[in-house]
Amino acid sequence: MDLVLGSTVELKKPHPCGSRTFTLTRVGMDVKLVCTSCGHEVMLPRKKAEKAIKAVLSVPEEGSTHV
């Protein structure tokens, strides 16, 4: 799976706050996700994160510098 920094993803299971959407803020061997609802940060190994992602909702534009 191709994970892009700044993408918004939907996970299979909801966060305890009820939201399923997260933003990718770090991509590498570990993936850092930030909940779009409450702002909680979660670090997961890449393999576990790829299994947890249900869909990629949006990908930032190529020239964008926003993280």
Distance CA 48, CA 18 (A): 20
Phi-psi bin for 62: left (phi > 0), alpha (psi -120 to 50), beta?
alpha
Distance CA 22, CA 17 (A): 12
Confidence of residue 2 (pLDDT cuts 50, 70, 90): confident
- Taking only the tens place, the pLDDT of each residue in 5-62 is 999 999 999 999 999 999 999 999 999 999 999 999 999 999 999 999 999 999 888 7
- pLDDT score for 6: 93
- pLDDT score for 65: 54
**pTM (2 decimals)?**
0.86
Confidence of residue 66 (pLDDT cuts 50, 70, 90): low
Amino acid found at 28: G
Tokens at residue 26, please?
């770090």
